[in-house]
Amino acid sequence: MAVELAPGSKRGLALSSPLIAGSRAVGYADVWPPGLMAAKFGAVVTGPITMRAQRGAPPPRLAEIPAGYALQAGDHNPGYHRVLRDHDAAWRRLGVPVIVSLGHSRPEDWGRLAQHLEEESGAAGLELALPPQAGRAEAGTWVAAVRRASTLPILVMLPAAQAEALGIVSIEAGADALVIGGGPSAVGRVMGSEGAGSDAIWSEAIAGGPAVLPYTLRALRAVAALRLDVPLVAAGGITRLDDVHMCLGEGAVAVQVRSICWVDPARVAAIAEALGPRPEVEERSQ
C-alpha cells in the first residue's frame, strides 16, 4: 500500500505504508514504545519545533474526558539548533521519511525554519499545524511563506472545525497535502484529582483519543467532497484497524496515530502488519 503524499512536488514524499507516527508519538523519532520501530510506519512526524527553545504549557496539562483526554501540551521543545544537533544524523539513517512538525505557537517563524531545515537537515517534509484560532488570511500568509522558503513537501494540519475553509486557502498557498482532524477544545477533570463541583480541578485543552474520531471523519468527508486534488491524511481518534479502513474509505490516503502508540503498542504493531510495509524498508531500518 505505497503512498505518494506530494505528487505535485519535484521532491515527492513516498511512503511504503499509509500508517504514520504522528507528531509527539515518538518524540523526535528517538523515543519508541515497546515493540514499535520506524519500519512499522510509512513516515514519522517529529514533535513540534520552534526557532528558539520554548517551554510547554503550565500544569495541569492532562484531563480526562469520556473515551479520551484533553491535553494542553504547548510546543515544548529545545529549539531547532539543538533538535538538529541531537537528532538529524539519526533521521538520515532511520530508513523512513522524517516529517518535521513546525510548532503552531510561532507561525511567524515558519518561513525561516523551513529554509534552515531544507539547507541543514535530512527532513523529507514539513508539517504545519495551524493554530485553532487561525483565519483564512493568516493561514494563507503562513503557508505561502513556507512555500517561498522551501521546496520540501508541505503538509498542513487543519483544525477539524475549519477544515474546509482553511484547506482551500492552504492549497492555494502551496500545500502539497492536508492533514485532517485537529481535535476540538474540551473541558475535563485533571487526571489524579479528586472531588466534584468546586473541589475538582478542571482543564480546558484540545481533545484526543477515540472520542475525537467522529470529528475527524466529519471533517475528512467534508474536505474529500471538495475534490481538491491533493492527498488527504486523517489524524485524530484513530486507534483500531477498522478506524484506519474507515478513513481510507472516506478519502484519506494515509492516517496518523499518536497516543495509541503508548496506550497499546501491540495493537499499533498489528495495524502496521495488516497494512504491510515493504520488506526492504524494514531491512534498512534495522
Crossing angle of the two packed helices 80-93 and 110-120, in degrees rounded to 10: 40
Report residue 54's pLDDT band, with 50, 70 and 90 as the boundaries.
confident
Report residue 2's pLDDT band, with 50, 70 and 90 as the boundaries.
confident
What backbone torsions phi and psi does residue 51 show, to the nearest 5 degrees?
A: -60, -45
The whole-model pTM stands at 0.89
Report residue 189's pLDDT band, with 50, 70 and 90 as the boundaries.
confident
Q: What is the pLDDT of residues 142-177, one digit of tens each?
A: 999 999 999 999 999 998 889 999 999 999 999 999
DSSP state letter for 174: T
DSSP state letter for 253: S
Which three-class secondary structure state does DSSP give residue 222? helix
Residue 56 reports pLDDT greater than 70:
no
Report residue 112's pLDDT band, with 50, 70 and 90 as the boundaries.
very high
How high is the mean pLDDT of the chain?
Answer: 88
Which residues make beta-bridge pairs with 24?
A: 27
60 compared with 43, residue with greater pLDDT: 43
> What fold, for 3-55+75-191+210-284?
TIM Barrel (3.20.20)
Highest mean pLDDT pick, 15-19, 190-194, 198-202: 15-19
